[in-house]
Amino acid sequence: MERLYAFLAAQAAAGHLPEAFGYAFVVRGMLAALVLAPVLGGMSHLVVARRLAFFSSALGQAALTGLTIGVVLGEPLNSPYGGIGGFCLLSALAMVYVRRRSGLPPDTLVGVFLSLTLGLGICLLVAVTKRFNIHQVEAVMFGSLLTVTDSDLLLLLIFGALVLVGVAILYNRVALDSLDPALARASGLGSDALEYLFVALLTAAIVVSLKIIGALLVEALVVVPAAAARNLAHTARGVLVWSIALAAIAGEGGIWVSSKLPVPSGGAVVLGLGLVFVVSLGAGRALRPAR
């Protein structure tokens, strides 16, 4: 990686690339955004189809509790992936388990879990703040380019590839179960295991993206790309392709902005997504056939 950073820095110094490429942390952020685009952007289509937008928000909030649990158990503050991943996965599986066996509406049930995990996280955070500066958790809460390391990038590449392979294998089954659960069950494709597997993949994708997007903002990258894509495409494949493309555009744009201005990378990416969504509304109306 050092050779890549040195090469890009030399190209930036020679004026062949923008000045931002002279900084290794910016390059790491841009590479991370390129990996996240097909992972979260690709899953965005299925998340929206399965009405899991609020669910992904609850997982983001659970990451705060997982962070504090990881620190209490001795994990380093700059990479508490065990605590975050473990607690988020347990929370996700618990939400699916209770939802499938409860008569409560899904949004109500997710709201209950969101409140409980966030309340627990705040209490634990206050209890362990003597061990570190509270501002050190901002990278996990809001995302930060400065804290992304080569190890984080490698972890993102590995888990991103695993998630993409899993989604590719399950895509047709999950898509059919999302659009017509009754038909999926009749075809033998819909099952409890399918939902648990998809939720586990979604959890893994969210956890490895926290350093860039942040726990409080990660929901945007698994919801907004598909919402914007639906304004531009009229087929499931078109929505999938547009979701990935729009996530990449917003991600790279947000990383560039955060390298120029003193704003968190997660906030800049989300603002980019908001701009993409507004533009897609206008473009969708312009492309829609007149009646």
> Residue 145: its pLDDT value, please?
64
**What are the residues whose beta carbons fall under 8 Å from the beta carbon of 121, sequence distance 6 or more?**
61, 62, 64, 65, 66, 67, 68
Three-class secondary structure of residue 241 per DSSP:
helix
DSSP string, 26-74: HHHHHHHHHHHHHHHHHHHHHHHHTT-HHHHHHHHHHHHHHHHHHHHTT
**Every domain of the chain and the residues it spans:** 2-287
CA dist 183 and 152 (Å) reads 41
Asked if 233 and 180 touch (Cβ cutoff 8 Å), the reply is no
The CATH class for the domain spanning 2-287 reads: mainly alpha
Which pLDDT band holds residue 82 (cuts at 50, 70, 90)? confident
What's the pLDDT tens digit per position in 51-80? 777 777 788 778 778 877 877 777 776 667
> Residue 188: its pLDDT value, please?
64
> Residue 291: its pLDDT value, please?
44
Sign, CA dihedral 20-21-23-27, equals positive
Which pLDDT band holds residue 140 (cuts at 50, 70, 90)? low
What's the pLDDT tens digit per position in 149-174? 788 788 888 888 888 888 888 877 87
Nearest by Cα to 225 from 204, 240, 237, 206: 240
What's the pLDDT tens digit per position in 226-282? 888 888 887 878 888 888 888 888 888 888 888 788 877 778 888 888 898 888 888
**Measured between alpha carbons, how far is residue 256 from residues 28, 94, 149, 188 in Å?**
12, 38, 17, 46
Nearest by Cα to 247 from 283, 281, 222: 222
Work out the burial of residue 233: count CB atoms within 10 Å of its CB; fewer than 13 is exposed, 13-18 middle, 19 or more buried. buried
Largest CA distance in the chain: 64
